[in-house]
Structure formats: C-alpha cells, structure tokens
Chain A
C-alpha cells in the first residue's frame, strides 16, 4: 500500500516558478533595448584623377561658409559666431530667396560649406552638424505644414520628395587640406 502510494506521487512543481523567475531576471538584465540612433550622412564619392574641381560656377552668395578651428570656435561668413545662433543663421541664409544680396538666391541653390580643423573636437563637429540638420528640418516642417498640413516626417513618401526638392540638404565638407598635424 505504501509502495503504490509512492509511485503515484507527482514531481513537486512548486519551484518551477522560482527557476523561471531566475531565468527571467537574467534575461531582463542582459537585454539591451536601446535602438541605435544617429545623424545620417552621405559621403561624396572620391573624385576621379582627371576631374578638376570647379567651384567657380557657384556664385559666392550661394555658399554659406562655416569654419571651425581647433579651439572649437566658429567663423561663419567671416564673422565669429556662437553655436546657438548657427541654426537661425543657416535658416536665414537658406530661406533668403534673394532678399538679402549677401545671402542665397533660393533654397535650391543654397550650399553650406563646412570646414573643420584636424584639431576640432568630434563633439563640436556633431553639434554643428546637428544645428545645420535642425535648420533644414525646421524649414522642411514649415513648408510641409503650409503645403500639406502635416509634419514632414508624417507625410507619405511622394510628398516628402516634393518638400525635399524644395529644400535639398546640401552640406559640403571641404576636402581635408594639408593642415599641420596637431594632435
């Protein structure tokens, strides 16, 4: 009688929950939910040997020159500028539409030329890139709101293209010149 009773005994599953919890906590701790975020850019292809650079066709007023030196200071159109003003400066330049003879003819022709020293810190470089992207994003958003009544990123692909054509993001980075090494 005692024997048959033992055979019928079930495995105690009470600790199952504890084991599962232990595993659960392990995976909870090791999981990284972070999504990678960043500023996307497209590099220009390497120039071919016989191709000579020709900047002369671009009118000087359509180029917005941003220089960053090794002390992380900005020189925009030959005037020192704080980084907090860069976004508004760039917006004024891009969306000038020929009003100010010093600034761009229209957004399609506007080019931002960014040049930095080898000693510039990466943090400053990203800040400058961020401000310039912000300028374009704000202009695109305003255009998208007035034309289609919705924010740029919420628009369907073909409408986004229309806006992008109106405000093409042209950020040119100068070929690194032979600047002295100062690392």
Chain B
C-alpha cells in the first residue's frame, strides 16, 4: 500500500497555467503602447498610387497631412463626387492651406520648423490640376519639404 501511494505522488502534475495572465498582460501592454489611434476621420476616399522607389517617413510628429480625393460615399449626396481637399477634420479649399501650415508651425518648436514635412495623400484618380494648386499654395506658405504618399508595389 505504501509503495502504491509513493508512486502516485511522483506522477507528473498538470502544466500550471497560473502565469498565463502574466504573459497575456505583457502582450497587452506591448500593443497598448504601440497602438496609434487614428486621429482624423477621413471624409475623402484615398487610395494612394503604387511606387517602388519609396522611403520611410521619419518623425511622424513633424508630418502634416493633406488628403485629396472624392468624398466618401455617404457624403457624396451633399458634397458631390468632385475631388476635395481635407485638412485635419474638415473639407477645405486651396486658399485654406496657408493658414493650415501656419497653425501647424505654431504648434511646434521653432527649431523643428525646417524639418517639418507635408505629406500629400492623394487618390490615384485625382487630376494633377488639384495637386498643382496645392503645391503652389505650399510654395507660397514656404513649406517646401513634401512627400507624395504611396503604397509599395509595382503598377
């Protein structure tokens, strides 16, 4: 009898899952820290064109975005399907760009201003006329560092 008991004691116990919450929490914190919530709601449909010679953008905090594209489906009844410009959270005209650049500059340190970049996120169906107008306004605002946002891939 005593022999029998000893044997059962030596049997392998089940794998402890006590540390599972810890592991999951670790993963959770990683994703919580790396998550960047989308700041702006897009009112325009933007599918950026594909390109191969692309570079990564540095310092996201120094980048301002200009979206160009047709309004999204649910807004097309009131805004039409003509390509529009979106700055921050609202539709804008080309004339608003200079003011937009000025406010973007105010929110940054003076030393950082030369490194500020404007990223043009335009839909591939947009005509160059709109983009040219935007670029002219950027030149007037003296925001010369620009970046044409593209996807990686061959066309």
Binding site for B on A (CB under 8 A): 13, 16-17, 20-21, 23-24, 27-28, 30-33, 35-46, 116-123, 125-127, 129-130, 133-134, 137, 176, 181, 183
Give the residue among A20, A30, A122, A176 with the most B Cβ atoms within 10 A: A122
A-contact 0/1 string along B37-72, CB 8 Å cutoff? 110000000001101111111001001000010000
Known: A27-B31, A37-B149. A44 touches B129 (CB 8 A): no
Residue pair A27, B139 in contact (C-beta under 8 Å)? no
Is the C-beta of B103 less than 8 angstroms from some C-beta in chain A?
A: no
B29 to chain A, nearest CB (A): 9
Q: Report 29 cross-chain contacts, Cβ distance below 8 Å, ordered by A residue.
A: A17-B20, A20-B21, A20-B24, A24-B24, A24-B28, A30-B37, A31-B31, A32-B36, A37-B56, A37-B152, A39-B55, A39-B147, A39-B150, A40-B55, A40-B146, A40-B147, A42-B145, A46-B140, A118-B128, A120-B128, A121-B125, A121-B127, A122-B123, A122-B125, A122-B127, A126-B124, A129-B51, A134-B53, A183-B130
Top 9 A-B pairs, shortest CB-CB distance:
A118-B129, A123-B124, A27-B31, A133-B53, A20-B24, A130-B51, A126-B49, A36-B57, A37-B54
> Which residue of B21, B68, B135, B149 contacts A13 across the interface (Cβ within 8 Å)?
B21
Note all chain B residues with C-beta closer than 8 A to A122.
Answer: 49, 68, 122-128, 131
Note all chain B residues with C-beta closer than 8 A to A116.
Answer: 128
Binding site for A on B (CB under 8 A): 17, 20-21, 24-25, 27-28, 31-32, 34-38, 48-49, 51-57, 60, 63, 68, 82, 117, 119, 122-132, 135-136, 138-140, 142-152, 155
- Minimum CB distance partner of A132 in chain B: B53
Note all chain B residues with C-beta closer than 8 A to A16.
Answer: 21
Residue pair B129, A39 in contact (C-beta under 8 Å)? no
- Minimum CB distance partner of A133 in chain B: B53
Residue pair B56, A36 in contact (C-beta under 8 Å)? yes
Residue pair B63, A127 in contact (C-beta under 8 Å)? no
A63 to chain B, nearest CB (A): 21
A53 to chain B, nearest CB (A): 15
Give the residue among B36, B128, B147 with the most A Cβ atoms within 10 A: B128
- Minimum CB distance partner of A122 in chain B: B126
Known: A31-B31, A121-B124, A122-B124. A38 touches B149 (CB 8 A): yes
Residue pair B28, A41 in contact (C-beta under 8 Å)? no
The CA-CA distance from A39 to B138 in the complex, in Å, is: 17
A153 to chain B, nearest CB (A): 9
- Minimum CB distance partner of A176 in chain B: B132
> Which residue of B57, B82, B122, B129 contacts A181 across the interface (Cβ within 8 Å)?
B129
